[in-house]
Amino acid sequence: MRQAEAGLKELIHEAEVYEHNAKRLYIRIPRERLTDAAKYLHRECGMRLATCTGIDTREGFDVLYHFSEDKTGTMYTLKVLAPKDDPKIESQATWFPAADWIEREMHELLGIDFPGHPNLIPLLTSDTDWDKTKYPLRRDYERRNEAHEL
Amino acid sequence: MSLTGWELAFAFVIFPGFAFTATVGLVLTWVDRFVSARVQWRKGPPLYQPFADMLKLLLKQTVVPAGASKVTFLLAPMLGFAAMCVTSVLLFYVNFFPQGSFVGDLIVLVYLFALPPIAIIIGASASRNPLSAVGASREMTLYLGYELPFLLALVVPVIRTGGAIRLGDLVLAQQAGGPFLYSVSGVIAAVIVLICIQAKLGYPPFDMAEAEQEIMSGVLIEYSGVPLAMFRLTKAMMFFLMPCFLVTVFWGGLASWWAILKLLAIAVLIILIKNTNPRFKIEHALRFFWFILGALGIAAVILAFMKL
Amino acid sequence: MKDPRIWGLKKSPWVYHVAAASCNNCDIEILELLTPRYDVERFGIVLVGSPRHADVLLVTGVINRKSLPRVLEVFEQTPKPCLVIGIGSCTCNNHIFRNSYNAVGPYDKYLPMHAYVPGCPPKPEAMILGVVKALGKL
């Protein structure tokens, strides 16, 4: 068992580890423990945050934080689930600048709220020509209804 | 020799003034593009290309940016252009009638050659654009850089002729005793003036004021149509007149048929330096001009005093 | 006075490259076009650094809600007469981004286009053909 994996399971008892192959691990944790887990992986284990991804699934919004251990080339992915009626995840941008723009993008495209984020304004969509209540990457977004006038 | 009104008008407008200098200058820019193309193993543009560029620019819309000071913006190109017309008349007159030159016309020429960079700085500052302000500050710094060794190098022929600041005396001394280039101090001074010509024309490695990739054509970013044509024409005329100046002061004067070959040789040298060098940073350029070329200039002056 | 203008524009088209939300593949091909291997300077084509010096705007990329006002502003800053040539299939019909929430349709809804060069990305030879055809139509 890897040292980081062991330390994480000791820190968070509810963590479930799924090993896809020798270089990729997926660890599901409850969303309240996200900051502790991320800080542990970054500060104690020396990993860097590679990227974050979000996806709209039947159970809710699944947000993945990919940490890369550059010494061995292994990816540790933290998976947190935010239910559809309460899509809030604690913002990691307060202590980790790399997550700043990624969380802005997830907020404007998926509608996930990140309380504590210093600057949660849209990043990619237009500021003049876009309806901010529409979230394009959700499953129920229909592009064919989108009219465009100049 | 005094000229009547009609003769003066002919001199300023047709030969050797605006029309002659502009045509030869544009042909020299074609030589520039042709040699650059051959250096890069490709065919260059056809001979009428610079004239097509000028014609196209003269017939395009002129756009003045909102908030720019209109009069300064539109008149700045005329400053450099007028200076070059006057310079051409002065240079050719001094070369063919050396007795007619007046005391201090070397200094007048130095001031006239200083006017095109000043016109560019004025025009860029009147453009109300932060990138052109950066370009203007770079052009100003560069000007402070190369004027020092340029003046030091020009002192060398003056010392060699025993203190005459008349271009006519310089030309006559070279016709009598051989060009100043055929001496150690002369060679050093000529090389310094050649590098300063490269900087004055704004060619690589000293094109940081008009850097295309960095600051989007810095000084000329807001210019279009007729003012842009005037700036480019001024640059073309400078590309002809500055080698003429070098030949006049160092290489025997323009009053012989060999002068055409000498001019072409200097132009090709400038083009080759232009094609083989990356761009300097402005701090490096300043240090290069003041410390390296300045030291060389002082060495040339000392050698000139020792009659070498 | 039409004829000298057209002759000048045909013989010395200065090119400015506008990348509006492209994937940069067409941008790389345009840079390849301007290398000595294809020698477009024979036609008088020179890459300029400012839209105020340009005669031909090479636009690439699927036009975006965010980049649309900016592309229109660049077009307005270019002194007329000027040609606009769309490089790449994204300019013609949004190509693979046709179902995107952000892509707002082919360029000729907003700009007067003179030529389209389809391809993903188009070869430099195809781009030369497009520019020459657009100039020949003048």
Give B218 to chain C, closest Cα distance, Å: 9
Contact C11 B223 (CB under 8 A): no
Residues in chain C within 8 Å Cβ distance of A127:
66
Residues in chain A within 8 Å Cβ distance of C96:
none
Half-sphere exposure of A29 (CA within 13 A, CB side): 23
B187 CB contacts (<8 Å, ≥6 apart)?
B181
The minimal CB distance from C101 to the residues A128, A146, A150 is found for A146
Residue A56 falls inside a structural domain: yes
Residue A43: DSSP 8-state: I
Residue A29: DSSP 8-state: -
Chain mean position to CA B88: 11
Contact C11 B33 (CB under 8 A): no
Contact B212 C47 (CB under 8 A): yes
Residue A43 falls inside a structural domain: yes
Residue of A nearest to C109 (CA): A150
* Mean pLDDT of successive 10-residue stretches along chain B, which has 308 residues: 76 84 94 93 91 91 87 92 92 86 88 93 90 89 92 90 84 84 89 93 86 74 90 94 92 87 94 91 91 93 86
pLDDT per position as a tens digit, C71-114: 999 999 999 888 999 999 989 888 888 878 888 878 888 999 99
The minimal CB distance from A125 to the residues C69, C102, C104 is found for C102
**Do the chains A and C touch each other, judged by at least 3 C-beta pairs below 8 angstroms?**
yes
Nearest alpha carbon to residue C56 among C75, C40, C41: C75
Q: Tell me the β-bridge partners of B226.
A: none
DSSP letters spanning B225-279: SHHHHHHHHHHHHHHHHHHHHHHHHHSS-SSSTHHHHHHHHHHHHHHHHHHS--P
pLDDT of residue B77: 92
Contact B52 C79 (CB under 8 A): no
Q: Contact C74/C52 with Cβ under 8 angstroms?
A: no
Residue type for C120, please?
Answer: C
Residues in chain C within 8 Å Cβ distance of B124:
none
C-alpha–C-alpha distance, residues B52 and C8, integer Å: 5
Can you tell me the mean pLDDT for A63-87? 90
Listing from the earlier edge strand, what are the strands of the sheet with A74-82?
A16-21, A24-28, A74-82, A60-69, A48-57
C-alpha–C-alpha distance, residues C134 and C111, integer Å: 15
Residue span of the structural domain in which A134 resides: 3-140
Residue A149 falls inside a structural domain: no
> What does the mean pLDDT of chain C come to?
88
Full-model pTM: 0.87
Residue A146 falls inside a structural domain: no
Residue of A nearest to C65 (CA): A126
Q: Which helix (H) or strand (E) holds A109?
A: helix A99-110
Residue of C nearest to B55 (CA): C8
Q: What part of A 85-144 touches C (C-beta under 8 Å)?
A: 124-130, 134, 136, 141, 143
Residue A46 falls inside a structural domain: yes
Residue A73 falls inside a structural domain: yes
Q: How many residues does chain A have?
A: 150
Find tokens 């991804």 and name the residue: A53
Contact C64 A126 (CB under 8 A): yes
Domains of chain C plus CATH, in order, are 2-136 (3.40.50.12280)
| CATH code, domain with A71 | 3.30.460.80
Q: Which helix (H) or strand (E) holds B176?
A: helix B167-177
Torsion of CA B188, B190, B193, B198, to 10 degrees: -100
Task: State the chains in contact with B (3 or more Cβ–Cβ pairs under 8 Å).
Answer: C
C-alpha–C-alpha distance, residues B285 and B291, integer Å: 10
Torsion of CA A64, A70, A73, A78, to 10 degrees: -20
- CA-to-CA separations, A72 to A46, A49, A65, in angstroms, rounded: 12, 15, 18
Q: Which helix (H) or strand (E) holds A74?
A: strand A74-82
| Number of CB atoms found within 10 A of residue C30's CB | 22
pLDDT of residue C136: 83
Task: State the chains in contact with A (3 or more Cβ–Cβ pairs under 8 Å).
Answer: C
Find the chain C residues whose C-beta atoms sit closer than 8 A to any C-beta of A. Answer: 64-66, 68-69, 99-102, 104-105, 109-110
> What does the mean pLDDT of chain A come to?
86
Interface B–C counts its CB contacts (< 8 A) at 83
pLDDT category at C1 given cuts 50, 70, 90 is: very low
Q: Tell me the β-bridge partners of A78.
A: A27, A65
Residues in chain A within 8 Å Cβ distance of C68:
126, 129, 150
Q: Residue C4: is its pLDDT beyond 80?
A: no
Bond preceding residue B16 cis, omega within 30 of 0? yes
Q: Contact A119/A108 with Cβ under 8 angstroms?
A: no
Q: State how many domains chain A has.
A: 1
Residue A55 falls inside a structural domain: yes
